[in-house]
Amino acid sequence: MNLYKSRYNDINNPEVIIYSLSHGRFKKYEDTGQMDEYVDYISQGITGLIQSGAEIIALAANSPHRVLYELKQRFDIPIVSALDSAFHEAQRLKIRKGLLLGIKFTMQSTFYQERFKDGDIELITPDIHEQDIINDIIFNKFNGQTIDQSSINTLKNIISGYSVDGTILGCMRLPVFFNDQTVKVPNLVNTLDKHIEDILENAK
């Protein structure tokens, strides 16, 4: 809530309700393509939040935005979209061709590309081998306390191998690998930070 206090000079920060879904079950539906079950499971969480008094919803991960349209069809409550957050930041940075990084489910889906088409922004993804490497870094190379420097170097090398004018971090874990100010990546879209800013703007 420090961002809220600093931005609005107000100690009356919004109340936050968290409904934490099982990552194992969540990932199982993603990996097996069980999208009906996926939507039902996310809907279970949203229903719980609404019953607890939530006035807006935020999906605290990028991959469930694959079914954002389906969720919006089920619920009248506003859902703050990380896709929109990333898209608007890419527009602000005047990105025309970007490299999308994320878990394999996100990189191998098209929901990011479809959203960015609205601004005539082309998104490409790393090759399959590099997707495996990035997926492993996201799930296995950060323990919540220390960051593997070799992973940072690997991500930078992957990015440098593509002719793009921006990079979209399409995973909420990826920004931790780019927090060091010595890590310079031109036109980096930090979806986590931008999504948080939009959540606060909608919750004030």
The full set of domains in the chain, from first to last, is: 2-81 (3.40.50.1860), 82-194 (3.40.50.1860)
Residue 197 burial by Cβ neighbours in a 10 Å radius (0-12, 13-18, 19+): middle
Residue 158's pLDDT is 96
Residue 65's pLDDT is 96
Residue 183's pLDDT is 57
Residue 13's pLDDT is 73
Residue 60's pLDDT is 93
Q: What pTM, to 2 d.p., does this model score?
A: 0.90
As a whole number of angstroms, the distance between CA 63 and CA 104 comes to: 9
In the predicted model, residues of the chain with pLDDT beneath 50 are: none
As a whole number of angstroms, the distance between CA 154 and CA 163 comes to: 17
Residue 154's pLDDT is 94
